[in-house]
Chain A
Amino acid sequence: MISQKGIVLEKLLSGHFICETTDEDSYRFLKTSAGRMEVEAHLAVLNRQLTHAAEEQVFFASYQTIGETERVKLGKQFEDVSNHLLPLIEWLLLVQESLNNDLSLSQGMNLRLNELQTIIEDTPAYAEQLNKISRYALFGSKAAELDAQLKLVFKRLVELGYLIKPNQDKQIYTVTGKIDYLFDVLKFIDETEQLSLAKKAEDAMSQSDLI
């Protein structure tokens, strides 16, 4: 039988993000300092180290020293991240607005596909938005029906590790810690590029309030 350490190592080396939702046992293992040290020792052999994000809610493997080859790979990865950013953010906003609870998604929240579908179907603005989102290269839907678009978007998000489907027979999805990682990325970009996004949003909202 494979040990918990083995499971953790395999997940990390396969490029997975480990959080409480995706794999609770592995997450607990990494929360102990002894477990972390053991894993670190193995990762170091492969020029990798354990990194956490979103206030230790997600763990993943990163490069220990970054040489030329690693830099090329990271550069490519970053391109993906920045290309995915807008579709993901629009999707997040769509879900948040259609569920109308003002809560942005974070780890452990459940999304009921049917519930979401009914709301989006009933609101033409949301349906239009979904249509736009599903055409992004990230999702690449060519379907004209809303049902197919929504299913494809969710399927892609599961593939990318942002959602998991705990029960294969039920259309209920759980948000993973990778979403929190995404928010960290967004925060980082906001700070580094000095965009002051929050202020912009607030200004825009107060303007619409005046009207």
Chain B
Amino acid sequence: MNYNLKKAGSSLLNALSNHSELVMEAYFSGSINEADYTPKVINNLLDLKVIWRPENERQLRLRPALRTLLEESLQDENNRQIDANIGSSLVSIKTQAEHYKEALNAGRFKEAESMLSDVTERVYSLTDMLATNVRLLWSRISNEFGYVATVDAKIRENELAQSQVSELLNQLSMFQFDQLSDISGSHRELRHLLVVTLQSSFAHCTQELSLAQAKLIDLLGRFREFKGRTRLLKGFVLHLEQNPSFAPQNYSTMSNVPALFNVAENTIAAAAIDVNNVEQEQSLLEVMSNIKHVNRQRDTRTNLNNASPLTMQDENAIELQESLLKSEVDAFFCAVIDSGTNQTALDYYKAKNLDFDPEVWLYQVIGGFHGLPEQDKSYFALETRGVPDPVFSGNFVITDIEIGLQ
């Protein structure tokens, strides 16, 4: 291990961390204001090749390598450059591989080991470069070139990206796996690096690139459409300004109405409430409780047109059976008054040989009693006879009713 190199490396990293503010200022503003820093600091950084002066009398700038490092680590979208120099990397990988094989054949194992680590480094940096380039493309696509404002600029950026994609694809065609396979021969490590790693990275990259290309073309179409749309809008306003009386002819009178203007009217109105639907009771109640104000004002006007003329008809014909029951109850109450003694409803029922259902009869008697005017009701006393339900406690089953005078 080279001790001196190691020491120089750590002093460079220390310098970067000590002057991180200067570095970041240079990163963001592009150059450094030399007056802000002492000459000692500036000279130190110049010696370490962190910053450089492109020409005399020009301001100091950050070294491109450092800038790239920062852009990649920070995933800054300013990093819009795609480095597509795959050819030279491939050539140097091939050369290094040849070195490694030669060293191995000559039995210089120490040297071969360091050669192999060189090849590994280069292969991985190549795959990393491919991955970064693809990621860059996608990040640009995914924010739809959001870093430029106008559609025209977006279109230009899109065209640039497309040319970069085709450039990348061209360069990718330089991968000749038969050659790489020949070079790696029977060496296991070399084969793994040159064939397996590169091939998987290659396959991944080409696939992503073809997807990106399709997406870029799609986006370009969209941008063009946006432009077209804006022109259409502006043109229409302009046209109306020049010809205020312009109105398109009514296309619905054409024999063949264009599909665009053939829009059917709405036919469905809201459904009505079904108050008899028990299942909906809960939700209907909720709706009811949400009604803030129920307007109960009735329409006092009677619709004369709908009122049918009142005609006297044969009353008996429409008399219902209930009235028979009712009159029988009335007769029962009269019988109680006449006799002056207590009578049960069922006894009367049997005595008169009535043919209603006994239960209906009992109900009607109770109903008849409660239906009496308050004054008349006070003359009578009603007592129910029955037994508590044998199964369900608290229920009283009425078997008969006794009516008497107070």
Q: Mark A41-70, 1 if CB is under 8 A from B, else 0.
A: 000001010010100000011110010000
A193-B149 contact in complex given A93-B237, A103-B226, C-beta closer than 8 Å: no
What is the CA–CA distance of A1 and B180 in the complex, to the nearest angstrom?
A: 64
The SS class assigned to the B binding surface is helix
| B261–A200 touching, CB < 8 Å | no
Cross-interface CB contact of B230 among A48, A61, A96, A195, cutoff 8 Å = A96
What is the CA–CA distance of A202 and B259 in the complex, to the nearest angstrom?
A: 29
Residue of A nearest to B151 (CB): A102
| B260–A82 touching, CB < 8 Å | no
What is the CA–CA distance of A66 and B235 in the complex, to the nearest angstrom?
A: 33
Size bin of chain A's contact surface: 35 or more
Cross-interface CB contact of B226 among A13, A86, A104, A187, cutoff 8 Å = A104
Interface contacts beyond A78-B261, A198-B232, A201-B233: sample of 10 additional A-B pairs, CB < 8 Å, sorted by A? A48-B264, A51-B262, A63-B264, A74-B252, A86-B237, A90-B237, A195-B235, A195-B236, A197-B234, A200-B239
A74-B248 contact in complex given A197-B236, A201-B231, C-beta closer than 8 Å: no
**Interface residue stretch chosen among B34-42, B76-84, B265-273, B309-317:** B265-273
| A78–B251 touching, CB < 8 Å | yes
| B231–A62 touching, CB < 8 Å | no
Residues of A within 8 A of B267 (CB): 13-14, 46
B69 at the interface (CB under 8 A from A): no
The SS class assigned to the A binding surface is helix
| A198–B235 touching, CB < 8 Å | yes
Residues of A within 8 A of B285 (CB): none
| B263–A60 touching, CB < 8 Å | yes
B186 at the interface (CB under 8 A from A): no
A15-B265 contact in complex given A74-B257, A189-B248, A201-B231, C-beta closer than 8 Å: yes
What is the CA–CA distance of A109 and B13 in the complex, to the nearest angstrom?
A: 47
A-B pair count, CB < 8 Å, reads: 135
Residues of B within 8 A of A86 (CB): 236-237, 240
Residues of A within 8 A of B257 (CB): 66, 71, 74
Residue of A nearest to B268 (CB): A13
Residue of B nearest to A81 (CB): B261
The smallest beta-carbon distance between A187 and chain B, in angstroms, is 7
| A188–B232 touching, CB < 8 Å | no
| A75–B252 touching, CB < 8 Å | yes
User: From residue 166 to 192 of chain A, which have CB atoms closer than 8 A to chain B?
Assistant: 181, 183-190, 192
Cross-interface CB contact of B262 among A74, A85, A104, cutoff 8 Å = A74
User: From residue 84 to 116 of chain A, which have CB atoms closer than 8 A to chain B?
Assistant: 85-86, 89-90, 92-93, 96, 100-104, 106
Q: Mark B216-257, 1 if CB is under 8 A from A, else 0.
A: 000000000010111111111111100000011111110001
B150 at the interface (CB under 8 A from A): yes
B373 at the interface (CB under 8 A from A): no
| A186–B226 touching, CB < 8 Å | no
